[in-house]
Structure 1
Amino acid sequence: MEAPKKQPQILDKKTALLKAESWCAYQERSQQEVRNKLYEYGLHQNEVEDLISELITTNFLNEERFAMAYVSGKVNIKKWGKIKIKQGLKLKKVPDKLIQKALNSIDGDKYLANLLATAEKKSKVLSEKDSLKRKYKLITYLQSKGFEKDLIFDVLKANNLTE
């Protein structure tokens, strides 16, 4: 038996604005996330754009604040690298200028410490005996976390994690 498909909510503009305000107040959102949510409410393009303008004016929606919060969370909690963070922001259709500004706000020492801690943690659980394969697996893992290749090599070499 199939689960019944959820019907999209059809809301009027005023109700949609109230729901969008509380949704944005709960957590920082990108304009694209809000736009998608408003379309789910059954609103038309001109209504959606009007509501987004209203949310920006009332400061419920701020793309720069969203980008900064996103970067901060991914660096401090998820321990992601800049490449993966940049991809995530691009998926949320954040402008390149804001992406750069947010990435530049990352503390360099903290970023390197995250890379080293991630490398050490992964190195402990790798069971590979062959040192070349081990190094390859470690580098591949760190790249999947979004760290830059040259930085990975520098940190691994400086901390003797390549043996």
Structure 2
Amino acid sequence: MIIKTSYTIEEAKRKLEHYCAYQERCHKEVVSKLRELQMIPQAIDVILVHLLDHNFLNETRFAETFARGKFRVKKWGKRRIENELKLRQISAYNIKKGLAQISENDYFETFDLLALKRLEAITETNKYKKRKKLADYLLYRGWDSSMVYNKVKELIP
């Protein structure tokens, strides 16, 4: 027998404050969590306003943190980061602010290192298949196609 717990608005507020304090969250994640807690739409609105007023929820801060983290840790390119933020329904303004967190020097340096590291890992002997594997890998990670194709031609002449 499954027992479903119901929460008062105050209990849900506290629970979501902790949820947002633990890690940056976007509005979509918070609304999803509230629906998971079976809150009614009016309660969701009240709790969202509370979280926004008390600075537990801030989409600009989320976009900036997300962009920095995915770039530094997962070595994602700007296209992938932008698409992931769009998937989370972040505004174009906040996406732009998030991507601004990545310095151009770091961006190109990381791209070069990632391309070289991946090239070393590819065991393919056919030049064209090797090029394709490297290009596919970098494109999947969200790097600009013009950068990718120029780098592939440079590394595998």
Name the TM tier (shorter chain). Answer: over 0.9
Pairwise CA distance, 1:75: 0.7
Match in the other structure for 2:16: 20
Question: Which consecutive unaligned segments of at least 5 residues does structure 1 have?
Answer: none
What is the number of equivalent residue pairs in this alignment?
Answer: 157
Q: What is the percentage of aligned positions where both structures have the same residue?
A: 32
Q: 1:152 and 2:143 equivalent?
A: no
State how far apart, in whole Å, the 2-side matches of 1:154 and 1:29 are: 36
Provide, for residues 74-114 of structure 1, a one-character-per-residue CA deviation record: whole Å limited to 9, x for no partner. 01111001111111111211112211221123111111111
Q: Which shows bigger deviation, 95-104 or 35-44?
A: 95-104
Cα drift, residue 120 of structure 1: 0.8
TM-score by length of 2: 0.93
Distance 1:144 1:8, change over 3 A: farther
Corresponding residue for residue 97 of structure 1: 93
Give distance in 1, aligned partners of 2:20 and 2:32: 13
- Letter of the 2:141 counterpart: K
1:107 and 2:103 correspond: yes
Determine if contact 2:52/2:58 at 8 Å carries over to the other structure: yes
**Structure 1 range deviating more: 117-126 or 65-74:** 117-126
Q: Which amino acid in 1 is paired with 2:64? A: M
Stretches of structure 2 lacking an aligned partner (at least 5 in a row): none
Alignment-mate amino acid for residue 155 of structure 2:
L
* Partners of 1:9 and 1:40 within 8 A in 2: no
CA contact (8 A) 1:71 1:103 kept: yes
Aligned to 1:71: 67
Aligned to 1:162: 156
Separation in structure 1 between the aligned mates of residue 118 and residue 8 of structure 2, nearest angstrom: 51
CA distance in 2, matches of 1:31, 1:60: 11
